[in-house]
Each structure stands twice: as C-alpha cells, then as structure tokens.
Amino acid sequence: MLSDNVKTGDEHAPHRSLFNALGFTGDEMRKPMIGIVSSYNEIVPGHMNIDKIVEAVKLGVAEAGGMPVVFPAIAVCDGIAMGHIGMKYSLVTRDLIADSTECMVRAHQFDALVMVPNCDKNVPGLLMAAARVNIPTVFVSGGPMLAGHVHGKKTSLSSMFEAVGAKKAGTIDEEELRYYDEHTCPTCGSCSGMYTANSMNCLTEAIGMGLRGNGTIPAVYSARLRLAKMAGYAVMDMLKKNIRPRDIMTKEAFMNALTVDMALGCSTNTMLHLPAIAHEAGIDLNMEIANEVSDRTPNLCHLAPAGHTYMEDLNEAGGVYAVMNELSKKGLLDLDCMTVTGHTVGENIAQVKNINTEVIRPIDDPFMAEGGIAVLKGNIAPDTGVVKRSAVVSEMMVHEGPARVFDCEEDAIKAIYGGEIHEGDVVVIRYEGPKGGPGMREMLNPTSAIAGMGLGSSVALITDGRFSGASRGASIGHVSPEAAVGGPIALIEEGDIIKIDIPNNALNVKVSDEVLEERRKNWKPREPKVKDGYLARYEKMVTSGNRGAILELK
C-alpha cells in the first residue's frame, strides 16, 4: 500500500506519532487510507449538502475495510460569480483544484480516493487530478437541484437571468421579478438544467468514473446518500483489483463521453474540459473531431435551456445509462471500456430501460439527427468556435447581419439594456478569452439579456469567451485564436457583415483577406488587464480555448 510509506516500519514512527495525534488507532493505521475529497462549502448551493454525502462515503469506506480521511477542495458558484470580476476566477479554479488535490494526495500517500465534487470547474478539476495521480478513484457528486416552479411551470436558473432582461424591457414588473427570484432555485444542488455542472457529472458516468445515477439523482433524494455509500464500497473493490483512472479514462472512453455529450445536448464548456482531462491522462483529444462524432450521433435529449425537461426528469427516465443504452443500439459506443464498477460499459447498461421516450427520445426518433454541439470554423475562427446547436432556434441556424463590436462584456450589456441592439445584429464580445479576460468569462448575462429583451430569435452573439450551459440561442464561444493574441476576431469592425452557417459548420466575416491583412498591420497587443496575483500568473501560462485552456510552461 502507498500509505505504508508513512505508516509502516521504525523509520516511520515519527509519521505514526502524527497519526496518533489525529486519533488514529493501531487497527485503523493497518487499513488502506482512503482520501475523501470534500468540496463542501457554505457559499455554493450545489455544495451545501456535500457534508452529508461525505459522511455517507465515510460509512461505505469503513464498512468495506478502509480508513476514510477527508480533505477539502475549493469550488466557485458560477451563478454568483456571473457578470462581474468574480467570473474571471471561475475557469481558473479548475487548475487550482487539480494542483492542490495532487499536492494533498502525494504528500500524504493515500491509497485510493473518493472525489465528491458538484459544480462547474470542481468536477473537471478533480477528474484532472484523478488522471494525474492515478490511484483507484471513484466519483460521487452532490447531485442536481430540483426544478423551480413559477406559475405552475418548471423553471431553472436560466429563466431567472432572462427575467432580468424582461424587466428591463418592461414586459414584467418588479413584483414579478421578485416572484421569480424566490421560486426559481428551490433546493440545494447543481442548477437543474443541462448546464455545465450537470453535463460534467453526467459525462463522469459516461467516461466510467462515476456510478450509475452520479449525474442525475437529485441532491435532496436519499438515493444520493445510498449512492455515496456504494461509492465507498466501490473504491475498496477497485483498490483490491488495482483498477486505476488511466485504466478507465482511455481514448475509447473519451470518445464514449463525447458521444454521450452529443446525445444529451451538454454545455459547450465540455469542449474545454474533456481535452484538459484527456491531456492529464496522456491523451490528445482534438476537438475538431467533435463534428465527426456529432454527424453520427443523434441528439436524444432537450433538457433546459434547450427544452422544458430537467435533471429530475432525466433521472426518472432512466438517466445517463438509459441514454447510453439507446446509443448502443446503433453501435455508437465502445462497450468494452472498463468502469469504476469493475464491469464494462456494456455490462453496466445491458438491462437499463428508457422509461420516458419524451425525455429520452428513442434512437430512431431523435430530436435532431446530429449531436447537440457543433464546432465552427472560418476566417473569424481559423482554429475553432463552439455552439450548442441543440439550443439554437431554427431561424438562427443560418444568419447574416452587421457586427456590433465590444471589447468587454460590460460594454455589451450596457448596449443591450440601452436598446442599442436590434433584430439581425451580431454582437461580438472580444478580449474575454483565456488570456484576454484573463479567465475566459462566461457570457450568460449578455445571452440572457438578449433573450429577455425579446431578441433571442433574431440576434447572435460571438465571443472568444465562453458560455454558461444555461445560455441558449445562436451563441458561439471559444473563438480561437482569441483577440488577445491577435486572432481575427480582433480585426472585426463595427458594421462588418458576419455570416453564421451552423449546418455547414462555418463562421465568417464578409471582408476580404487583403482588408483583414491591412487591419492586422495596425493591430497592437493590449496591456494585460490584471498585473498581479493568481490571474496574472494564469494569463502567462494558459493556452487557447481550442486546446482546453490548459496550462503550459512557456
């Protein structure tokens, strides 16, 4: 056992004395030491229940013969961080989480781990750490929030942001806005639509690192506590069988995850996180392959914000395994991949039924013939741009209009709420990428403002930043190269005509190469927006969005 390095032999008597100080008994020190990474805190609604999950995991580990030891991981609530400087600190925490977890695991020589994450960057950060330290690891999340209820209809956080736009447009009053904010988020848990947190928790199942229900069992259900105990049992079984993350997170497993991503209609942020996790596992996952996967993968789910079903509905319909079972009927998954259950994907999903074909469409009757995400290219995005195709209305799948150019999110918001954006416009928000932000802020406020102002079916938004999974509409993010490094998005001028052609994966500005080259001669790099602290270090090390915004030493 790895923990023998700090527990066994005369030379480790000083270490044992410190374990004695922790209250460990001799019997406990002879057991495998299982680290439980707790993301509990009192500021993130998706994490306020994690203390209960952790206690259940501890029971499971102890019952299965291990010694559970808890240590923390940080997490940011993207909803609370949205629309101000706090959003610069969201994506960057992914790497902090991975790094700090690596430090704790290797410094203390844990034998195995149970990761208990929930929200947006917390899940991929811990998956990155799991791939990096490569000791037996199981994931069990805090679970999704139940949907809210507004005037008898289910709702979620995206509706709340759009209600602000409706108030600005004068279509609802102060009393109605207050009603929304008191009824939209009714419980603990990750926000109830197919946003980034729930996308990543579902893909944790698909990739094989979480037990069935990890992505969908609501946070407040007691089934979540039972799942946590089972995670404790499972990690001890993995330790016995020496099943490690890199045995599970193979190239084939990532392809399974990408396929399930397309079927579920996940957040575009998965296009950042999957390559970053794969990188830690020693796998090059180029997101240009996304269109190839999308072309052969039907979109089977339209969860909020793309439709009117929620995570609780997906759970009742059979969850991620039911979606995977549908995909397997067309041979779209590698069924031989190993999982944390000790069984293969094929064995796990064999008997799972699709209970509600309105929530999970049958493979022969999908919502769309193609997957939920598309990667666009063109003279604005020579590397990539990403759009959640399943959340775009049909009339905006092909769109042409004048560019309305803004060099930060705040200026765009001011123009939208000031009535300066009109039907047909293409809002361009740049210098918000990984380097330019720094931190690649989510643009939920602008997309929600556009929808709330009644322009969601006629105005597009393009950015080198990114979008919340709660964004809907013709919202194209991750434009690479970003403006801060001289990408073509920096060369767009007010009034240029932009053509978006999602069916043909194209994104172009109707300006000649010669004119763009002339503009480039006059472009100059900008001074970094942040010059001290962690963001300044991040800006120097971060790569582009199309590479997953991973960090590299220059």
- Which positions are catalytic? 468
Q: How far apart are CA 119 and CA 204, in angstroms?
A: 13
Terminal C-alpha separation, the chain: 37
Cis amide bond preceding 305, omega within 30: yes
Nearest to 507 by CA among 323, 377, 417, 361: 377
Cβ contacts of 416 within 8 Å, gap of 6 or more: 165, 427, 446, 449, 450, 453
Where helices occur in 297-344 by DSSP H, the ranges are 311-317, 319-328
DSSP conformational letter for 496: -
Cα separation, 536 vs 533, whole angstroms: 6
Please count the other Cβ atoms lying within 10 Å of the Cβ belonging to residue 382. 14
Picking from 268, 462, 251, 493, the residue whose alpha carbon sits closest to that of residue 373 is 268
The long-range contacts involving 394-398, CB below 8 angstroms and separated by at least 24 positions, are 395/457, 395/458, 396/457, 396/458, 396/460, 396/473, 396/474, 396/500, 397/474, 397/502, 397/503, 398/499, 398/500, 398/501, 398/502, 398/503
What is the DSSP secondary-structure string of 229-293? HHHHHHHHHHHHHT--HHHHS-HHHHHHHHHHHHHHT--TTHHHHHHHHHHHTT----GGGHHHH
Distance of CA 202 to CAs 126, 213, 215, 503, Å?
Answer: 14, 8, 4, 26
C-alpha 188/C-alpha 50 separation (Å) is: 10
Judge residue 14's burial from the number of C-beta atoms within 10 Å of its C-beta, 0-12 exposed, 13-18 middle, 19 or more buried: exposed
Tokens of 310: 């929620």
What angle separates helix 270-280 from helix 93-108, to the nearest 10 degrees? 30
Backbone angles phi, psi at 100, to 5 degrees: -70, -35
CB atoms within 10 A of CB 294: 25
